[in-house]
Structure formats: C-alpha cells, structure tokens
Amino acid sequence: MPPKKPGAGDKNLKSKSPAEFFLDNKGIAGFENAGKSLYTTLREFIENSLDSAESIGVLPDVDIAVEEVTLGEYEDKIGLKAHVRKDNALYADFETERERAKRLAAEAKKSAQEAKAAEALAKAAAKGGKGPKGAGKGTKDSGDKRDAGRGKTFFRITVKDNGKGMQHDDIPNMLGRVLSGTKYGVRQTRGKFGLGSKMALIWSKQTTGLPIEIMSAQPKQKFVSRYVLDIDIERNEPNVHSAEKIDNPGDWHGAELSVIIEGNWTAYRNKVLSYLRQLAIVTPYAQFHFKYVSAGSDARGNVDAMFRRRTLVMPSPPLTTKHHPSAANEDQLLVKTLLSQTKEKTLVNFLHKEFTSIGKEHATRLVAELGKGFDPNQAPRDVTETQATRVQQLLSYARFADPSGDCLSPAGEYNLRLGIMKELAPDWIASYVGGALACGGHPLIVEACVSLGGKDVKAGHNVFRFANRIPLLFEGGSDVVTRCVQRLNWGSYKIDKNNDKIGVFVSIVSTKIPFKGTSKEYIGDDNVEIAEAVDRAIRACATQLKGKITRAQAAKERRARKKVLSRYIPDCARAIAAMLEVSAHAAQPPSKRARHGAAVTSAALGSNGGKLWAVDPRWEADVLGRVREGRVTLATVQRRLEEHVERIDSEQALEYSMQNKEGLSEAMHLMPAGSAHAFSHIMYHPTCAFRLLDAATPR
C-alpha cells in the first residue's frame, strides 16, 4: 500500500497558534468576564512596571488611570456613525402569547397595588396622619429589565512607570507575540510565561478591535519610542500600525501603556482597590497613584487614591540559579535536557555546575554510585538515554541539602512590617522569616506576619496572601495559608479568634510557585513542605504575640493593683498618724510609751502570720519624739506610703521579668541608689520598707 501524500489525511486535522489557543481559553489567564478582565489587565500592567523599575534599582513610581469611555467616543474611534433605530420591534424581546398575557397581568397587579397605596396615603393625609407603613414610598422603578445586561461599558486603562523601558526594535515582539518574554529561566519573577500584557491586547482586539499604544524610553536614551500595534491572532505575530521615534527632552525613562477594553468597574471596584492596598503592604518602597474617572457629569463616583512610599529600602534583586537535584523527581526529562545543553566537559563537572547543593566531592561520590558504565571524566553528550534515566533515578532518591535562598528576593521582615503598619496601623505585630527549603526542585522561602487590631480590619481572621510579592485575592478558601490559619488553636496563644482583629500575612517566594488550577490564585494544602513551613511561620508569630499579650496583661494587673493600693493610702495614712499621735502623747512613762508605740507602729506596718517584724527601739523612740516635735505629720506618712507602693510595684515587675523565660524583655525603671534614697539597715522586709525619718538620721 503506497504511503499517503502530504495533506491527504483527515481534513479535520488542524493546528492553532498560541494566540488562538489563549483566545479560546481566556480563563486560564484570568480573562473570564468583563470585570475580571479589567482587574487582570491592571494587575499585569502594574506588575510589569514594578519588575521594570526594580531591575535597574529605581524606586518604583507608578501612575494608574482608568477612564470610562462612552459609547459615542468608542464609535468615533472605530469610525462608526451614530445609528437611529427605524424598526423598534427588532430590538424587543420575543415573547409568546402566554408570556405576554402573564406579563400584562403582572403589570396590572402592580398598578392596582400602587393605586391602592396612593389612595391610603391620601386618606391619611386628609386625617392628618402619617398613613400606613410603607405608603407613599412607591415602588422602585427598575425599568425594562429585559434589556438589562446588554449594554457594554468601555474603559481606557493607562499605566505609566519609571522603569528601564524597552528597546525600540523589541517592542513589537514583547507586546504582540504570545509566549515571548524576558522572564524565562530558574529565577524568581512576578510573571513567567510572557502572557499577561499580550492577553490584554487579545482581549482588547476581541471586545473593541482597538490597538494598544506604547510609549517607551530607556535610561539616557535621547528619544522616546512610540508604537501603535495589535496582534495577528492566526499567525501570533505583531501587527504594527505605526512606529516612530520622538524627542525626549526631559530624559524620561520607563514605559506607558494605554489600551481600551470592555470592562465592568462596578463589580470589581473593591477588588482593584484591595489589590492596590495589599500591593502597598508588600512593596512599601513603591508609590502608586490611582485615578478612576467616570464618563458622567457626576464626579461622586470618581476615585483618586495615592499609596505613598514609606521606605527607601528595596529588596535585593533575584538572581538566576540552577535546579536543585530533587527537581529530577518532578521532571524526568530534566536530566536529559541538561545533558544535551550543558557546556561542561565531564560528568562530574556537569553534576557540580548544573545543579545546586552538589559540591565537587559530592559529585564524584554520585558518579561512583552510578556504577558500571559511568566514568567521572565521561563527556555528558556521550551519556546514553538509558544512562540518563539512571542518573535521574539517583538524583531522585539520594538526599541533598536544602538550596540556598540567596537567589530569592523576599519582601523582608522590615518591609513587610513597615507596609502593614503603614496601611493597617495595628496595635501589635509579630514577624518571622523561615529558612530556604526545596519544593519541587526549586528554592522557596516563607515569611509571615501576624497583627492584632488596626484600622479597616474586621473581627476574626483577615488573611492576606502573597506569592512572589503579588497579592492573591481569589480562591482564598482553598489556599494553604487559609487552611493553616483555620487549623491553628489561637486560644492557646491568648488570642480570641472570634472577637480579636487578627491579620495574617504570609508571603511565599520561589523560582516556581506551585499554584493550583489555571487561575494561579492559590496554593494547594496538599503540598506538605509548604504547609509545614507556613504553619511553622504562623505559629512563630503567634508565640511572639503571646509573650507580648502576657506582659501587657501583667502590666495591666500591676497598674490595677497599684491603683487599688493608692486608693487606700489616705485612709491608712490618717490611721497610722493618729496611732502615732496617741502613742507619742499618752500619759505613760517614757519606756512604756516607747514599747506601746513600737507595737502599734509594727502592727500598722504589717505582719507575717501574726509575727511582728523586728524594729529597733531606738528608731521607735526617735519616731515618737519627732511626732511630738511636729516633724512627722500626716503628709509625711502619706508621702512615705506612696513611695512604698511605687517601689513594691517596681520590685514585683522585676521579679516577674526574671521569672519570664525571655528574661528582661522590658525596661525596668528602679529607684536609684544613693544618699537621697538610702534606707536604714534595721528594715528587714520590703512590706515595711518605708521610713518616717530623714536619710540623715544617725544609725
């Protein structure tokens, strides 16, 4: 049987370009509907701006504008003239006789109810009453709902940054060709597939047919590149409408993208503002100016928000790294691909240079473990496919150290705490950064903060999730962070999960985030390594807060105890002063008066199980003498009692802090030692450690 000629097979066999595929599967990239598409377009443009500025070490300054475009303006842009309807019946919903009868009956019933309500209101007004409840309010005029949802709204989205810009000749491919980009490789990036901005262009072409406008200039570039282009869906190629170079007198650098798309601002307004607020938390070194302008004359719906920069400290930029050996367990083709692409001359150098966590000596041991047929000096290109499978198996089962996190760029404790304090102003905050670990062959770091209190925070759990410094707003219920927060026993950390305002912030950074689903909005709870790391980070923060709460409660109890003791100082002072006065002037021999005064004074000062504290008789005689001379008065007793309460409070605080496992975690303000505060050697217990004599009293 002769072979079939090319093209003689199944006529239904076709192939699609990447642009066609993503046009048919927009939900993969977050373009499910008009509202989500507006949100995703903003998000992709903003994140590209952040990457662009951070790549050259410039503090990001991003201007974002969303302007509503009227139907007339849109039609003018595409060259349509205003159309006057001639046959209105063409625009009416089709309905059967039965549906029409049902609609008319409902309208008649509604009219009767309105007439009845108006009549009741008129009667009540004639009597001077207020009328029946609800009368006079009428019914909400919802209009003809059969036409609801058919109108489209269009928006011009413009994002301008101060980043590195794009080279003039690269702009068409960077924005007009799907799956082309500069972020491929084993490196932490906000984007990955060169898809976001292209999807915005595809959505624009599908819903409005209008191109995207680009202005771009690189640092120290004397001109600004200006492009107007769209995308050829079938060929996945840029379609350039115009390209020019214009003067750049202000030495501006960065990029400005402007596109008109169909959108829904009303449904996603809160999502957009929440995204910007969370972005300001995780990137406090960036500044965002957001503006929304409605098409109507009423400006009450307009938004003008500034998320100001709070710090000048930027995280270090991420670095390109190599695969961890455990990646061979996830991808069986990885070893074969690296063997065919490596520039190393020997198998030992291949293992040492193409993977992290493998030293030269370790690589030699691995080659020896491979067994017969392998040689340390063997050229990687000479490794057969079967031998490559053996290498892959060894890397999958052998144990390796966790990768270094030096290649990653986490937000950092300082920036994360600063962003939270800037946006939420919590009462307390605790932070933790875990060590780097291997997840699917990629380095991963988990950093977390837990806050209590704050503005615009509801009672209960408020979970904020970030992946590679990007806020995740959707599908939070299935996320590993939410599940860990729900499993944690907050009561053991003295936190009320129902009434306290708890903010949980978890940022995960990696060269590859293991998202679940096509939307890339959440990380599954089935990933054991990440679940344990997130749980460990949240628990560490909760433990810190527990210590702060315990110390605050102890301080509150001390203040309450001091307040109670201080309340009784005047009464105690009067009682002691009266006793001293009676003892000093009683008509008894001096020796008896002194002993009587000692007993009364000691009883007033305190006892221990009925046993009076030992007091020097000379001190008592001196006190009674001073009372008779008028040198010890009610004011003297009251002042000494106040000093006593103050010192006891400080001593108990010191004792509590020394018993605390964390040691002296609070500043202790004790009374300084010196002649002005010297105490007599005859005072044996702190409960009677106030003196009624001067420091100059002879001892």
Token look-up 């107007």 returns 228
Distance of alpha carbon 284 from alpha carbon 419, whole angstroms:
5
DSSP structure string for 299-326: GGG-EEEEE----S--PPPP---PBPTT
Number of structural domains (the chain) is: 4
Closest among 465, 477, 483, 471 to 532, alpha carbons compared: 483
Instruction: Note whether residue 102 is domain-resident.
Output: no
Residues 536, 678: one domain? Answer: no
* CATH number for position 259: 3.30.565.10
155 plus 282 within the same structural domain: yes
Q: Are residues 201 and 58 in the same domain?
A: yes
Which of 162, 174, 153, 149 lies closest to 260, judged by CA?
Answer: 153
Residue 32 to residues 25, 190, 262, 449, 650: CA-CA distances in angstroms?
Answer: 9, 21, 12, 33, 64
**What is the reported pLDDT for 116?**
84
Q: Which pairs count as long-range contacts for 433-438, CB under 8 Å and 24+ apart, including other chains? A: 433/537, 434/533, 434/536, 434/537, 435/402, 435/405, 436/402, 436/403, 436/404, 436/405, 436/408, 437/402, 437/403, 437/529, 437/533, 438/324, 438/326, 438/400, 438/402, 438/403, 438/529
Residue at a domain's end among 338, 370, 397: 397
Averaging pLDDT over each range in 367-376, 548-557, 614-623, 634-643, which range is the top one? 367-376
Residue 91 lies in a domain: no
Q: Are residues 448 and 537 in the same domain?
A: yes
| Contacts within 8 Å (CB) and 24+ apart, 362-365 | none
Are residues 45 and 261 in contact, defined by beta-carbon separation less than 8 angstroms? no
Q: What is the pLDDT of residue 662?
A: 45
pLDDT in tens, 398-416: 989 888 888 898 998 889 9
Q: How far is CA 471 from CA 190, 280, 434, 592, in A?
A: 11, 10, 20, 83
Alpha helices in 208-322 (DSSP H): 265-282
Residues 416 and 530 in one domain: yes
The pLDDT of residue 602 is: 44
- Cα 202 to Cα 25: distance, rounded to the nearest angstrom: 11
Which H helix or E strand runs over 52? Answer: helix 34-54
| Domain interval for residue 513 | 409-550
Average pLDDT value for residue range 22-27: 83
pLDDT the model gives residue 318: 87
522, 550, 578 — which closes off a domain? 550
- Domain boundary (550, 577, 602) is at 550
Query: 544 and 638 share a domain?
Result: no
In whole angstroms, give the CA distance from residue 52 to residue 68.
27
The residue written with tokens 């009076």 in the block is 612
Where do we find the tokens 């962070």?
Answer: 481
Residue 170 tokens read as 């690269």
343 with 478, same domain: the answer is: no
| DSSP secondary structure of 24-42 | HTGGGGT-SSHHHHHHHHH
pLDDT per residue over 593-634, tens digit each? 444 444 444 434 443 433 434 445 555 567 677 777 677 778
Say if residues 465 and 518 touch (Cβ distance below 8 Å). no
507 with 653, same domain: the answer is no
The least confident of 351-360, 594-603, 647-656 is 594-603
Residues 340, 202 share a domain: no
Q: What is the pLDDT of residues 575-596, one digit of tens each?
A: 877 877 777 666 345 554 444 4
Q: What is the pLDDT of residue 155?
A: 95
Task: Read off the CATH number of the domain in which 370 is found.
Answer: 1.10.8.50
Place of tokens 């995207």: 212
User: Does a structural domain hold residue 4?
Assistant: no
> Is 632 part of a structural domain of the chain?
yes
Answer yes or no: is 694 within a domain. no
Rounded CA-CA distance 469/189 in Å is 9
Torsion of CA 410, 492, 543, 455, to 10 degrees: 60
* Residues 659 and 528 reside in one and the same domain: no
Same domain, 420 and 502: yes
Q: Is residue 206 part of a domain?
A: yes
CATH code for the domain in which residue 518 is found: 3.30.230.10
Q: Are both 383 and 415 inside the same structural domain?
A: no
Half-sphere exposure of 361 (CA within 13 A, CB side): 0
Q: Is the pTM of this model over 0.85?
A: no
Mean pLDDT, the chain, rounded, equals 80
Would you state the pLDDT for residue 658? 54
Per the domain annotation, does 47 fall within a domain?
yes
Give, rounded to a whole angstrom, the gap between the first and last alpha carbons of the chain. 127
Residue at 484 is within a domain:
yes
